[in-house]
Structure 1
C-alpha cells in the first residue's frame, strides 16, 4: 500500500489536494478515488458520498475529523490522510450564534444546478434560512419553500473542483435538488451551520446523500 498526502490548510474553508510524496507526478485520469471521515478515537471510516476527486473542500460536518482518501491505481491502493483533525473556521461559531438569535437570515446565491442540470450562472437568487423552514426565491418568484423535514438533505458540495468550497447541495424535497453557490466560502459554511442548528431545534438532522451516521453538532455545546 502506498501512502501519499492530503495537502492544504486543514481547516474549514480550505481545499485539500492529494499529492504524491515521491518524485513522480500523479496522474488521476486512470484512478478511482474515495474520501472518508475518520474519527480521532475510532478506527471505523465513514464514506463521504460523491467525494471522488483529487481535491476536496471540507464542510462543517468534517470539523474534528481526520479526512482520508483511498486512491486505486489499477489494483494498487494508496492512501492520503490529513495530519490532524479538521479545525473550525476561527470566529465562525460565535458569528453563527449571533444569527441563531435572529428569526431568519438571507444569503445571495447563484443556482448552479437544478435536478442535476446546469443552470445559467448570471441569475442571483436569495436563500432565506429561518427557524422553521428555508426559502429560495428570485424577486417575487419562489423556487422552493420547505419546512425542515426528514426528507430534506443539505451538505457542502462533495464532487471537488475549485468552486466546491463555496457551493452547497440542497434537496428540499424528494423531487427537487439543487447546487447553490455563495459569495464566499465563509457564507457557505455559515448557511450550512445555521440551517443545521435550526433543523436540530425542530428535531431534524440534516446531512448529505449517503451519510451513514447521524450528524452530530461539533461546533456548539447544545
Structure 2
C-alpha cells in the first residue's frame, strides 16, 4: 500500500501540470493579496480572519480545479487500460483506489499549503504580523470541506463517466456569480464581505452562523464518504 501511494504521489506531483498550476495559483494569489487583501475587507484589517478568508475564497476555484485535474490522472484512457493489470494483481483493487485518493488529497493539500504560506510571507513582509493561530479556524472552515468534497464527488463522477469531471470543475466559478444565502456564503466568499458589516462593530471577532457551519460539515462528511465508498465491479466506460 505504501509503495503504491508513493508511486501515485510521484506521478501526480513530479510533472509539468502540477508545477504550472502551482505557479499560476501563487501568481494569482499574490495579485489578490497585493490589490484586494491589503485594503482589508468590509473595514477589517488586511490580516483579519475576514480579509484572510476572502483571499482563500478567491483562490478556492483554482484549488478546486486542481483537485479535480489530479483525478483525471486516474480516469484517463491510459489509467483505465492500466486498471486491467491492477485488477489482476493479488492486492485488492479497493486498496489501489484508496492509495490514489490519498495521493490526490496530498496534492490538493500542497496547493492549499502553498496559498497559506504565500499569505504568511505577505503578512510578515508588509505588516510584521505573525499571529497565525488566529487564522487556523477560517482556513480550515474555508478550504477543508469544499476541497474534500471536490475530491470525493469528482472521484465518483469519474467512475461513472470520466468526462463528467471537466464540467464539474466549473461549479465554484458558477457559484461566485450567484447570490447565495448566508448558509452557503463560504462557497463563494460572500459571507466574509457581508457578515462583518452585519455584526455592527469595527473589525469583529471571527464567527460563523449555524447554517454555514452545518453546510460545511455536510460537505466534509459527504466528501469523506464519497472517497471511502467501495467501488463497484462495473468498469469505467
Please classify the TM superposition score into its range, dividing by the shorter chain length. Answer: under 0.3
Greater strand fraction, Structure 1 or Structure 2: 1
Greater helix fraction, Structure 1 or Structure 2: 2
TM-score by length of 1: 0.25
TM-score by length of 2: 0.24
Flag the structure with larger Rg. 2
Instruction: Flag the structure with more relative contact order, 1 or 2, with Cα contacts below 8 A and sequence separation at least 6.
Output: 2
